Chains A and B, each alone.
Chain A
Amino acid sequence: MTKGKVIGVNGNMISVRVDGEVALNEVGYVVLGDKKLKSEVIRIQGDRAEMQVFEMTGGTGINDEVEFSGELLAVSLGPGLLGKVYDGLQNPLPELAERLGFFLDRGVYLEALESEQRWRFTPKVNKGDKVRQGDTLGTVPEGIFDHRVMVPFNFLGEYTVDWVIDEGDYTVHEKVATVTDAKGGKHEVTMAFEWPVKRPIKVYSERLRPEEQMVTKVRLIDTFIPVALGGTYCIPGPFGAGKTVLQQITSRNAEVDIVIIAACGERAGEVVETLREFPELNDPRTGRTLMERTVIICNTSSMPVAAREASVYTAVTIAEYYRQMGLKVLLLADSTSRWAQAMREMSGRLEEIPGEEAFPAYLESVIAAFYERAGRVRLHDGSIGSVTIGGTVSPAGGNFEEPVTQATLKVVGAFHGLSRERSDARKYPAIDPLESWSKYEGAVEPNATEYARGIVFRGDEIDQMMKVVGEEGTSLEDYLVYLKGQFMDSVYLQQNAFDEVDRAVSVERQQHVFRVMMQILVSRFSVESKEEARHYFNELRQKFLDYNGAEWMSDDFKSLETELEQMISERDAGADERGEKLLKSLTTEHSHA
């Protein structure tokens, strides 16, 4: 193996003189007494290699030895990933805690997959079968899923199954099959294998358009700015606008099979909530705990910055792995800005010529390449899997013009922009309903949502105008539109994350409630004065909020709905033609459902 000597230390970057071959992204270890610090080669010039160290570098000195591994930075893939909490390099954190206590001492690396645990293996191939990369050799049950034991993705070409083990309980390191390649070479296969994190897994027959909606149970998102399975979306927002809370809500309620949470350079406290609560919370769809469908990659802001850069790749590689099993995977990355900053820090130490705001010039292409790892694909066996990526962005100064937000907006399919004004006014989720957009199709008739959004837009305009001309200078008609906009904002766009019922709203309920709300939006109410109108809308709002808090289709829900409809019909003076038509389209759509 190649060895080297340290010739420079600058923060978490070291320079090494090497005595043989090295590869870019190869892993090496700095030997520091009885500890070895994991590092990755990030630049090579002659016999001099620059490496980023995934640990604090205090105590390293000139002429310290460096051992190279010959391997690229990789993750272990196999049964047992679900429910795990890893750091950015796939070290299991609870196991580290068992060993080290409260603190993360450097230089300790543990196996990512439990080597003792036995899995019930059921073979799915026979001797003589032809297989290729990604084909299923057998399955093991992992939680509620059939985890596919596959031909490792780095096996290129066609192989013949030589031998496969009988059904039984085995560990991840036991040989379960041997296969022969075209040239007659024999290869052993275990349940686990390694894959370099920076290379996308492309073992599928075709990539499909993201057509199916991914339900988040957040009204504002599902109705107005939907996300698709296999699609990408980003949540930029200034601090305190609720990015992380939104991600947490999504990780709980999203209708997907598996959620990978990449807590990248953010507060540890936030991960802890997920970490402590998920094992207690039940997933209503499966009856098992949420933790059993979750993998957490956690490299929080005070952990070494180079591992932060690796963490999003670790996360997306695990997501792609489960996609190979025909599952719907959601990857939530919080925050991609911290990841970009990690690149910036390293780029600065390498003394590369800086781009905008000192970010490296390759920022855009790296971000694009990351989001492109999302996608809905048809696998070789015909089943369909997807990786959906939702990334938060933390723009400096809350200004969306900055490089990371702009590079991200270029490549994502939906934009959920958070606004400081809305969060200051305690309007949650603080997604700006006017600025945000989505290229995907949602659950509610787009013409109707367009109409509703128009009311919010007009209401906002009138509000601005009223600030100039005053309430007395506004016509009653305009004032009604303003009230409708305000009304819709408080009963539909805002959602109470702390209310048992309101926190997660099914698509069915969204469609239903949207129709009730549309009756109000399209109606020309007969009111005499603004005072009266405001009073009426206050009452409507109160009723609607109680209605939102009532269990779906409970007696309470039904009686509140009747009361609401009564209140509406008392003042209803018919709708215009467009509104009438829209209402009808919603009603028929609803009766179909």
Chain B
Amino acid sequence: MRKVYSKIEAISGNVITVTASGVRYSELAVVSSRHGDSLAEVIRLSEDQVALQVFTGGRGISTGDEVRFVGHPMQISFSDNLLGRIFDGSGRPRDNGPPLEENMIEIGTPSVNPSMRIIPRNMIRTNIPMIDLFNTLVESQKLPIFSVSGEPYNPLLARIAMQAEVDMIILGGIGLKYDDYLFFRDTLEEGGAMSRTIFFVHTASDPVVESLLVPDVSLAVAERFALKGKKVLVLLTDMTNFADSLKEIAITMEQVPSNRGYPGDLYSQLAARYEKAVDFEGAGSITTLAATTMPGDDVTHPVPDNTGYITEGQYYLRGGRIEPFGSLSRLKQLVNDKTRPDHRAVMDGMIKLYAAYKESLEKKSMGFRMADWDNKLLKYGEMFEDQMMDLSVNIALEEALDRGWSILAECFDAAETGLRTELLKQYWPHKEETA
């Protein structure tokens, strides 16, 4: 029987301090107050002073409440019974189903040995041309979706969850609005994807510390499924809320803040989660897509900035469309040479021309005379936006490539595209075809 401590020395924000001995770093404890039991985790040891962060928050905790150490770090049940279920950040059911307690596993597992990783080699098709054609999603990739509050990043994630070619989806909601949570649940249920999905949802009304657990719990479960051969897609929304919770705890713990109040280890904290994305040789894989809202649409804000350095590219969602500039899947080159020989060239060529279109558009808005070339670009830009960028476009990669060629042919002469001669010979549509 573990000892029970009934004197809390200090309560500050969500962190409490007790005098105790024989306690281990990262160990869990149960804090019993008159509002019920809550889990808490040891986050600092100093002589006999033990600091714990309380998952349900410090509010209402009294100095006389009981603290009982359980002797192990945070754990979660792992089995196929998780599929189709909805849990909160601590792993308690949210869906009125029975609690799961068999086969407990630890969260926050060690890092994968880099020498055991393999070069990503499989594309994940989503049938969204801005992804498949221009920024191909690759198995074991980690990618954030940078956007501003109000952009449809959750509908986009839901659509990817429905359409992506994977075995199962784990959705980690962090500070999710309750409506959005219901939207995800209903969309996946209606689409019949619920049976291959597990939800770990922390909503905006839940205690903030619990949100810190969501990525770890989601990824620990994903890792086990991947080791069993499953191709897992982890969707996290929204990682900025996760970073903000880290900030809150760090400030409570009186850590020196580094940039806009965020702790100095923000990069390492985010990296530890994102780096869980992996392709296990001879088993399954984890691919991570994480919505990251940029406060004030500022990509230099510490959260998107650090995220950008960690992840393998990013999607920018702006104006309801995935932006071709800035969006970058740095792994796409590993797979897009195996799709169709014109894939890369069409991708680069169309983006370069779209960039030129933006310049012409700017000139036009300033009232300059439009040269012939500008007019061609303007026509091209509009077609590109309508037929490629629009999020409602739902076509396979090959069809998207063909569409790309026909847009080019309709707007330009072959020599104006800057594409290599051999490709033009092979793919440039003949006039009668485009007519």
Contacts of B418 in A (CB 8 A): 490, 538, 541-542, 545
Q: Mark A329-345, 1 if CB is under 8 A from B, else 0.
A: 00000010010010011
Bound together, the chains give a CA A475 to CA B271 distance in angstroms of 52
Which A residues, 381 to 398, have Cβ-Cβ distances below 8 Å to chain B?
394, 396-398
Q: Could you tell me if B267 and A104 are in contact, using CB atoms closer than 8 angstroms?
A: no
Are the CB atoms of A240 and B114 closer together than 8 Å?
Answer: no
Q: Is the CB of A470 within 8 A of B310?
A: no
Closest-CB distance, B358 to chain A (whole angstroms): 10
Q: CB within 8 Å of A: which of B321-364?
A: 325-326, 328, 330-331, 333, 337, 344, 348, 351-352, 355, 359, 362-363
A239→B304 CA distance, assembly (Å): 10
Does A85 lie within 8 Å of B115, measured CB to CB?
yes
Query: Could you tell me the distance between the alpha carbons of A538 and B45 in the complex, rounded to whole angstroms?
Result: 68
A515-557 Cβ-contact flags toward B at 8 Å (1 or 0): 0000000000000001100100011011001100100000000
Q: Hey, which chain A residues are within 8 Å of B326, CB to CB? A: 240, 424
Known: A102-B112, A103-B113, A467-B362. A240 touches B300 (CB 8 A): no
User: Which chain B residue shows the least CB distance to A105?
Assistant: B110
- Give Cα distance in the complex from A541 to B419, angstroms: 11
**A192-B22 Cα distance, complex, nearest whole Å:** 43
Report whether A58 and B25 are in contact in the complex, using a CB–CB cutoff of 8 Å.
Answer: yes
Determine the chain B residues whose CB is within 8 A of the CB of A587 once the complex forms.
Answer: none
Q: Are B110 and A104 in contact (CB under 8 A)?
A: yes
Known contacts A358-B258, A498-B344, A534-B373, A271 near B114 by CB under 8 Å: yes
Task: Given A96-B113, A341-B267, check contact A9 B44 (CB 8 Å).
Answer: yes
Neighbouring A residues of B258 by C-beta, 8 Å: 344, 348, 354, 357-359
Interface residues of A in 1-24 (CB under 8 A from B): 7-11, 15
Judge whether B119 and A358 touch: CB under 8 Å: no
Closest residue on chain B to residue A6 by CB atoms:
B45
Q: Are B47 and A7 in contact, CB atoms less than 8 angstroms apart?
A: yes
User: Which residue in chain A gives the minimum CB-CB distance to B272?
Assistant: A302
Q: Contact check: which of A97, A305, A424, A546 meets B115 at CB < 8 Å?
A: A97
Interface residues contributed by chain B, number (CB under 8 Å): 83
A277-B119, A426-B351 known; A268-B275 Cβ under 8 A: yes
Bound: A423/B328 CA distance, A: 10
B118 to chain A, nearest CB (A): 7
Q: Are A104 and B112 in contact (CB under 8 A)?
A: yes
Please measure, in the bound complex, the distance between the C-alpha atom of A94 and the C-alpha atom of B114, giving whole angstroms: 9
A436, CB-defined interface residue at 8 Å: no
Q: How far is the CA of A423 from the CA of B271 in the complex (A)?
A: 23
B369–chain A nearest beta-carbon distance, Å:
5
B117, CB-defined interface residue at 8 Å: yes
Residue of B with least CB distance to A352? B256
Which of A106, A277, A302, A549 counts the most chain B CB atoms within 10 A? A302
Determine the distance from Cα of A498 to Cα of B341 in the docked complex, in whole angstroms. 13
Given contacts A61-B22, A269-B331, contact A97 B300 (CB under 8 A): no
CA distance A492 to B359 in the complex (A): 23
CA distance A106 to B109 in the complex (A): 11
Residue interface mask A68-86, B partner, CB < 8 A = 1: 0000000000000000010
Q: Is B242 an interface residue (CB 8 A)?
A: no
Is B426 an interface residue when CB atoms closer than 8 A count as contact? Answer: no
Tell me whether A348 and B264 are in contact (CB under 8 A): yes
CA A534 to CA B45, docked complex, whole Å: 70
- A593 interface hit (Cβ, 8 Å): no
A467 contact set on B, CB distance < 8 A: 359, 362-363, 366
**B73–A58 CB distance below 8 A:** yes
Give chain A nearest CB distance to B343 CB in angstroms.
12
Which A residues from 251 to 274 make CB contacts under 8 A with B?
Answer: 263, 265, 267-269, 271-273
Chain A proximity mask over B10-53: 1 for CB below 8 Å, otherwise 0? 00000000000111111100000000000000001111100000
CB of A10 within 8 A of CB of B115, answer no
The one of B48, B111, B265, B305 in contact with A302, judged by C-beta atoms closer than 8 angstroms, is: B111
| Contact A301 B267, beta carbon cutoff 8 Å | yes
Residue A157 at the chain B interface, CB threshold 8 Å: no
Complex CA distance for A357 and B302, rounded to whole angstroms: 12
* Contact of B352 with A358 in the complex, beta carbons under 8 Å: no
A11 to B119 alpha-carbon distance, docked (Å): 32
A51–B10 alpha-carbon span in the complex (Å) = 27
Tell me, in angstroms, the Cα distance from A56 to B268 when the chains sit together.
Answer: 12
Residues of A within 8 A of B113 (CB): 93, 96-97, 100-104
Cβ of A62 < 8 Å from any Cβ of B?
yes
Contacting pair A272 B110 (CB below 8 A):
no
Q: Which of B46, B265, B267, B351 contacts A8 (CB 8 A)?
A: B46
Q: Which residues of chain B are within 8 angstroms of A468 by Cβ–Cβ distance?
A: 366
Q: Which residues of A contact B115 (CB under 8 A)?
A: 85, 93-94, 96-97, 275, 298
Interface centre among B112, B118, B312, B362 (most CB of A within 10 A): B112
Q: Are A358's CB and B48's CB within 8 A?
A: no
Complex CA distance for A244 and B418, rounded to whole angstroms: 27
Enumerate chain B residues within 8 angstroms of A426, measured Cβ to Cβ: 348, 351-352, 355
Task: Let me know if B272 and A62 touch, CB within 8 A.
Answer: no
Q: How far is the CB of B46 from chain A (nearest CB, A)?
A: 4
The answer on a CB contact under 8 Å between B114 and A11 is no
Q: Which of B389-408 contact A (CB under 8 A)?
A: none
Chain A positions within 8 Å of B140 at CB level? 269
* Contact residues in A for B119 (Cβ distance below 8 Å): 272-273, 276-277
A59 at the interface (CB under 8 A from B): yes
Determine the chain B residues whose CB is within 8 A of the CB of A324 once the complex forms: none
Contact present for A272 and B117 (CB under 8 Å): yes
Partner of B46 from the list A15, A335, A345, A546 (CB cut-off 8 Å) is: A15
Nearest opposing residue in chain A for B313, CB measure: A240
Expressed in whole angstroms, the minimum distance between the Cβ of B287 and any Cβ of chain A is: 12
Residues of A within 8 A of B22 (CB): 61-62
A282-335 CB contacts (< 8 Å) to partner B: 298, 300-303, 305, 335
**Residues B370-412 near A (CB distance < 8 A):** 371-373
B103 interface contact, C-beta 8 A: no
Residue among B267, B300, B308, B363 facing the most chain A CB atoms (10 A cut-off):
B267
Chain B residues near A435 (CB-CB < 8 A): none
Residue of B whose beta carbon sits closest to that of A103: B110
Name the B residues within 8 Å of A9 (CB-CB). 25, 44-46
Are the CB atoms of B112 and A498 closer together than 8 Å? no
* B262-294 contacts to A (CB < 8 Å): 263-265, 267-268, 271-272, 274-276, 280
CA distance A273 to B265 in the complex (A): 27
User: Is B420 an interface residue, CB under 8 A from the partner?
Assistant: yes
Complex: how many Å from CA A275 to CA B114? 9
B114, A301: Cβ atoms closer than 8 Å: no
**Nearest CB in chain B: distance from A354 CB, A:** 5
**In the complex, what residues of A have CB within 8 A of residue B259's CB?**
357-358, 396
Q: Which residues of B contact A302 (CB under 8 A)?
A: 111-112, 268, 271-272, 274-276
Given contact pairs A105-B110, A470-B368, A498 touches B46 in the complex (Cβ within 8 A): no
Q: Which among A58, A100, A338 has the highest number of chain B CB atoms within 10 Å?
A: A58
- Establish whether residues A358 and B330, one from each chain, have CB atoms under 8 Å apart when the complex forms: no
CB distance from B262 to the nearest CB of A (A): 10
Residue of A58, A94, A105, A396 near B26 (CB, 8 A) is A58
What are 17 A-B contacts with C-beta separation under 8 Å?
A59-B24, A60-B25, A62-B21, A93-B113, A239-B308, A240-B308, A263-B114, A271-B114, A275-B117, A298-B115, A397-B301, A424-B325, A424-B326, A424-B355, A426-B355, A470-B366, A490-B418
Contacts A97-B113, A341-B267 known; list 13 others, CB within 8 Å. A9-B44, A10-B44, A62-B22, A240-B313, A240-B326, A267-B310, A276-B118, A301-B275, A335-B309, A338-B267, A467-B363, A470-B366, A542-B418
Please give me the 4 A-B residue pairs with the lowest Cβ-Cβ distance, nearest first. A397-B300, A301-B271, A302-B275, A470-B368
